[in-house]
Amino acid sequence: EVQLVESGGGLVQPGGSLRLSCAASGFTFSSYWMHWVRQAPGKGLVWVSRINSDGSSTSYADSVKGRFTISRDNAKNTLYLQMNSLRAEDTAVYYCARVLVDSYGRIQYYYMDVWGKGTTVTVSS
């Protein structure tokens, strides 16, 4: 079964750091680009970051650029999000998601077809 399981969320004070993990199983993790998407309580989805299959290329939303770092360990089938200088507005459920590979085998970089259940990050004093 294809599965993504996030962990590492919790309560952290403003200015603090947290590292999220996303364990992948049931597919060849090293072949897929991956994304992080977050959702503040009662709010909509917000794209956070993406990484290519070998970890050599990354992109970030302006709101987290310079504070968050996405990375991956293909040997451990795990995606990470290192979050530093956390702010109250970073409070959200954080989802990791796998990019879609369509029926023709084409990688669809901008679409996410497998999602984890999310991990909750709360930034508060």
Q: Which of residues 29 and 36 has its CB atom nearest to other proteins in the complex?
A: 36
Q: Which of residues 61 and 82 has its CB atom nearest to other proteins in the complex?
A: 61
- Chain contacts with other proteins (rule: CB under 8 A): 35, 37, 44-47, 50, 59-62, 95, 100, 102-103, 108, 110-113, 115-118
- Give me the least distance between CB of 45 and other proteins, in Å please: 4
Q: Which of residues 12 and 64 has its CB atom nearest to other proteins in the complex?
A: 64
Task: Please state, in angstroms and rounded to a whole number, the distance separating the CA atoms of residues 3 and 118.
Answer: 12
Handedness of CA 60, 65, 67, 71 (dihedral sign): positive
**What are the structure tokens assigned to 59, written together?**
């992109």
Task: Please state, in angstroms and rounded to a whole number, the distance separating the CA atoms of residues 109 and 117.
Answer: 21
